[in-house]
């Protein structure tokens, strides 16, 4: 039976590749996409979510708009990485498929209440505002979650938006704190993993060589996305952060990590949004998450290329 997931997202080229990977994979049943403000403001992330579903040839996928701003901070966006639209690179047509009327947070709550307990996995690929709002508003749904597999944080790699913090956590540290303390089963794909999932010329060429609209779009996404990280890190390519979440659901054996305590810094101006991960077990704080540390990047790209070719 396919595993039921809700993708909570702020597309984002790497979010787009994650969504395409999920929609191409019959191990997964995408119950819906909930958009959140993050890389770009909410009107763009919900629009981009629908563009991606249509690109995948899956216009029946339900897309909901969630929260437009973090719980208690002003929104910080990342046009410097993703471009003005959040999805710069390919020219994608304006979507015809509708946005659902229901608020994304209500959809998350209703789905967790109506599906059998522990059969729905949440896949946050952006700031955790929608998930934390759902947990605040309906604490009963927390124990119904099968697992939360999220992209966010860093330990050895430290920060990408500030010297100390990764973008998704930094944008809404209060939300991340609520999720980390919720008691739900949590698996984290931090920068420590995603910075090893780098595009290379050969990998981008493999997408382009598919000669399909989706293959070409993925090559254009990754070509665009690459520029920023190559200039910043001097790396061979760009990290495909968010697809790591979906790949984990399909091929967990590609990843290794540790079940440890992870806390979020919510007070300090200097280190706001830092994921304080007890990787070395130097405290007696109880483990609350599986924090991944390594990835089989070859296996990851083999999976991605095989699945994107299906669309
Ligand atoms: C995360 O931030 C966003 O820019 C990406 O989409 C990813 O989810 C990486 O820090
Ligand atoms: Ca994202």
Ligand 1 pocket: which of 167, 176, 192 to mutate (most atoms within 8 A of CB): 167
Ligand 1 pocket: which of 38, 70, 130, 275 to mutate (most atoms within 8 A of CB): 38
Q: Which atom of ligand 1 is nearest to the CA of 15?
A: 6
Residue 239 is classified by DSSP as B
Which residue CA neighbors atom 4 of ligand 1 most closely?
39
- Ligand 1 centre distance from Cα of residue 39 (Å): 7
Closest C-alpha among 66, 76, 47, 88 to residue 6: 66
Q: Which residues are catalytic?
A: 241
Q: What's the rounded Cα separation, in Å, for the pair 155 and 289?
A: 13
Task: Find out if CATH 3.40.50.970 is the number for domain 3-308.
Answer: no
Q: Which atom of ligand 1 is nearest to the CA of 242?
A: 8
Q: What is the structure's pLDDT at 236?
A: 77
Q: What is the structure's pLDDT at 157?
A: 95
Indicate the pairing of strand 289-295 with strand 120-124: unpaired
DSSP assignment of 171-196, as one string?
Answer: H-HHHHHHHHTS---EEEE-HHHHTT
Q: Which atom of ligand 1 is nearest to the CA of 10?
A: 6
Q: What is the structure's pLDDT at 215?
A: 98
For residue 199, the number of C-alpha atoms closer than 13 Å in the C-beta half-sphere is 29
- Ligand 2 centre distance from Cα of residue 167 (Å): 9
First to last CA, the chain: 21
Residue matched to tokens 């191990």: 27
Pocket of ligand 1 (CB under 6 A): 12, 14-15, 39, 78, 81, 125-126, 151, 160, 166-168, 241-242
Q: What is the pLDDT along the chain (311 residues), one digit of tens a residue?
A: 999 999 999 999 999 999 999 999 999 999 999 999 999 999 999 999 999 999 999 999 999 999 999 999 999 999 998 889 999 999 999 999 999 999 999 999 999 999 999 999 999 999 999 999 999 999 999 999 999 999 999 999 999 999 999 999 999 999 999 999 999 999 999 999 999 999 998 999 999 999 999 999 999 999 888 777 777 777 778 899 999 999 999 999 999 999 999 999 999 999 999 999 999 999 999 999 999 999 999 999 999 999 999 99
Q: What is the structure's pLDDT at 238?
A: 86
Closest C-alpha among 250, 254, 249, 274 to residue 262: 274
Domain definitions of the chain by residue range: 3-308
Asked if 119 and 5 touch (Cβ cutoff 8 Å), the reply is no
């Amino acid at each position: 039976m396919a595993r039921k997931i809700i993708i909570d997202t702020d597309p984002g080229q790497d979010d787009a590749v994650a969504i395409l990977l999920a929609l191409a994979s019959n191990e997964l049943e995408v119950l819906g996409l909930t958009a959140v403000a993050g890389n770009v403001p909410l009107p763009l992330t919900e629009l981009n979510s629908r563009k991606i579903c249509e690109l995948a040839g899956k216009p029946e996928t339900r897309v909901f708009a969630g929260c437009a701003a973090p719980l208690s901070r002003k929104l910080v966006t990342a046009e410097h990485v993703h471009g003005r639209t959040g999805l710069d690179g390919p020219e994608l047509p304006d979507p015809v498929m509708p946005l659902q009327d229901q608020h994304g947070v209500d959809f998350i709550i209703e789905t967790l209440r109506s599906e059998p307990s522990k059969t729905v996995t949440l896949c946050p690929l952006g700031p955790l505002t929608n998930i934390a709002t759902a947990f605040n508003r309906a604490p009963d749904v927390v124990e119904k979650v099968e697992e939360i597999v999220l992209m966010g944080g860093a330990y050895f790699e430290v920060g990408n938006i500030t010297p100390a913090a990764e973008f998704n956590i930094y944008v809404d540290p209060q939300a991340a704190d609520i999720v980390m303390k919720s008691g739900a089963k949590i698996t984290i794909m931090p920068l420590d993993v995603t910075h090893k999932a780098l595009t290379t010329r050969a990998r981008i060429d493999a997408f382009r060589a598919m000669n399909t609209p989706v293959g070409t779009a993925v090559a254009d996404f990754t070509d665009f996305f690459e520029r920023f990280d190559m200039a910043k890190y001097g790396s061979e390519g760009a990290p495909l952060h968010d697809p790591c979440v979906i790949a984990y659901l399909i091929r967990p054996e590609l990843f290794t990590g540790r079940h440890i305590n992870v806390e979020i810094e919510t007070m300090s101006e200097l280190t706001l949004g830092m994921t304080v991960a007890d990787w070395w077990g130097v405290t007696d704080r109880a483990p609350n998450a599986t924090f991944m540390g390594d990835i089989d990047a070859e296996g990851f790209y083999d999976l991605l290329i095989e699945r994107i070719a299906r669309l």
